[in-house]
Each structure stands twice: as structure tokens, then as C-alpha cells.
């Protein structure tokens, strides 16, 4: 009987430690519309919007959501996101990631395939100013509007992020 109790206790301790290692998730959202002007031919005007992410933890997992209203062709568009630590990744590349031709709305990397590998953001501090950059690369089809974008960060709340000067921390995740 004593052994059974000991095993149950051990089991409870294991479960508790596994539970505490689960990732927490925080989502940050911008719903300010951003007009993406149609290209006059070649790369059009790049427009940007920033969003402050208030989170003092390292990125262990990340998704980015976009909702773009497109007059005609999503294949005209390119969208980049720049992290708080200034790592710029292209997510939307002329609709090669499986985005629909009109009104693409969904998450990278779960709904659409990002053009760049988003794991490059893992190990960076999540907190700070994030930037989205949108550009129309082909004449015609009219302006588009980025209605909303979100950054969802998975993190462990047991490890608070230090300042970004500790870039060596990033290597621990690679």
C-alpha cells in the first residue's frame, strides 16, 4: 500500500511539472485599417503599421494573422513583419503560400505557408514594437486594405526575457 501511495505521489509530481512546462499564449491585435495603394507598375508604395507588444518573455512559438480586403488580386501583394528585435520576415509573397485570390484571412503558419521560416523569431524577446509592411507589386486591381493583423506568441512564463542585448540567449533556441 505504501508503494502505491508513493507511486501516486510521484505521478502527481510528474503531472504538475509537465503542466507547468506548458506554453502560455498571448495574442496582440491591431484593427486600424491600413490602405495598400495599387502599384503604378513595379513595386508600389510600401505602407507600414506598428503594434506594441507588452510581453516580457522569449518567443517559443509564434503565429501571425492577417485579414486583407483585396479589390482583385492577392497575387499582387507582399507582406513582411518585423519583430521587436528587428528580424524582418516575409510572410505573404504574391499568394504563393496558399492564400486565396481574394480577401485572404488567416494564420501563418497554420492556415497559410509563410515565405520565410517563422522559427527564425524563436528565442527573441517578444516585447516591444512590431511592424507590418505591405506593398503592391503589380499595376491594376485597385487599392487593398489590411483590416487587421495579430501576433500570437507562445512562451514559458518561468523565463522572463532580459534586454535584447543578450542576443546570445537566442543561440540557446537554435
Q: Which is nearer to Ca ion, 38 or 124 (CB)?
A: 38
Q: How far is CA 166 from CA 52, 85, 171, in A?
A: 21, 11, 10
For residue 99, state whether it binds Ca ion (rule: CB under 5 A): no
Point out the residue whose Cβ comes nearest to Ca ion.
76
Size of the site for Ca ion (CB under 5 A): 6
Residues comprising the chain, all counted: 174
Nearest residue to 134 via CA among 36, 31, 38? 36
Q: Which is nearer to Ca ion, 103 or 138 (CB)?
A: 138
Q: Is 120 helix (H, G, I), strand (E, B) or coil?
A: helix
Q: Is 10 helix (H, G, I), strand (E, B) or coil?
A: helix
Which of 141, 147, 152, 164 binds Ca ion (CB under 5 A)? It is 141
Determine contact, residues 44/128, Cβ cutoff 8 Å.
no
Which of 53, 66, 74, 76 binds Ca ion (CB under 5 A)? It is 76
For residue 136, state whether it binds Ca ion (rule: CB under 5 A): yes
Which of 38, 57, 93, 151 binds Ca ion (CB under 5 A)? It is 38
State the residues that interact with Ca ion by CB under 5 A: 38-39, 76, 136, 138, 141
Amino acid at each position: 500500500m505504501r508503494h502505491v501511495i508513493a507511486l501516486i505521489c510521484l505521478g502527481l509530481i510528474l503531472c504538475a511539472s509537465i503542466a507547468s512546462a506548458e506554453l502560455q499564449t498571448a495574442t496582440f491585435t491591431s484593427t486600424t485599417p491600413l490602405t495598400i495603394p495599387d502599384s503604378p507598375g513595379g513595386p508600389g508604395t510600401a505602407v507600414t503599421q506598428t503594434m506594441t507588444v507588452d510581453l516580457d518573455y522569449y518567443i517559443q512559438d509564434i503565429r501571425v494573422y492577417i485579414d486583407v480586403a483585396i479589390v482583385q488580386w492577392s497575387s499582387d501583394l507582399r507582406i513582411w513583419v518585423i519583430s521587436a528585435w528587428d528580424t524582418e520576415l516575409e510572410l505573404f509573397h504574391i499568394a504563393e503560400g496558399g492564400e486565396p485570390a481574394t480577401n485572404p484571412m488567416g494564420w501563418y503558419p497554420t492556415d497559410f505557408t509563410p515565405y520565410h521560416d517563422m522559427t527564425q523569431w524563436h528565442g527573441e524577446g517578444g516585447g516591444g514594437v512590431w511592424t507590418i509592411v505591405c506593398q503592391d507589386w503589380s499595376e491594376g486591381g485597385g487599392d487593398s486594405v489590411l483590416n487587421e493583423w495579430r501576433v500570437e506568441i507562445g512562451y514559458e512564463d518561468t523565463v522572463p526575457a532580459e534586454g535584447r542585448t543578450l542576443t546570445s540567449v537566442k543561440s540557446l533556441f537554435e
